[in-house]
Chain A
Amino acid sequence: MPTAPTPGDRAPVLALPTLDDRTVDLAELRGRPVLVSFLRHAG
């Protein structure tokens, strides 16, 4: 399994569907800082 990226690394690919099934690609947000927050669970 890969290790978590650290400062200076290229951000790994992230392209996923939204809750309403649109696809969002992190690469399309380039040009501004992006918070990528992986949540632990839904509770």
Chain B
Amino acid sequence: MKVQQRWERWEAIGAAALFVVFDEPAVIRHTMLDGIDVDAMPFDVVVDRRREVYDRWGLTRARHRDIWLDPNVYKVYWRLLRAGAKLRAGGSDVLQLGGDFIVDHHGEIAYSRPQRRDDRPPTGELLRAAAGTTRRDR
């Protein structure tokens, strides 16, 4: 599914999005955004080279065993390889964890899911959380 098609579900509820990365822009463009028209993306990708914002949002680094002994990591790689994706280097710090948050209209956190290992919430869960902030404001 193309990024634009996925994004239509977010636009339907009037949501914005920010994706935060920490590697150099050139690395990002040639890895996770490879083949994507960055100028046509309906959301921004912002770069936190020193990871100060990751720290401010309480995002920690995993232990090696949390990543490399996690069967889900290998399931994801297997799925990607079966879909024809190329294996790439993992960026400058494979232990840095991320997280997903929904911020409501007033600038308050409505949903918080910092990663503890290499897991992410389903898109549907995030969409429901974002839509819930709209309903609360009515």
Q: In the complex, how many residues of chain B place their beta carbon closer than 8 angstroms to a beta carbon of chain A?
A: 64
Interface of B, secondary structure class, is mixed
Interface of A, secondary structure class, is loop
Q: Which of B53, B99, B133 contacts A16 (CB 8 A)?
A: B53
Min CB distance A35 to B, Å, is 4
**A18 partner residues in chain B, CB cutoff 8 A:** 44-47
Contact A17 B46 (CB under 8 A): yes
Chain B residues engaging chain A, CB cutoff 8 angstroms: 10, 13-21, 23, 25, 27-29, 31-33, 38, 44-48, 53-60, 88-94, 96-112, 114-115, 118, 126, 130-131, 133-134
Tally A-B pairs: CB < 8 A. Answer: 175
Interface residues of A in 1-43 (CB under 8 A from B): 1-14, 16-20, 22, 24, 26-27, 29-43
Chain A residues engaging chain B, CB cutoff 8 angstroms: 1-14, 16-20, 22, 24, 26-27, 29-43
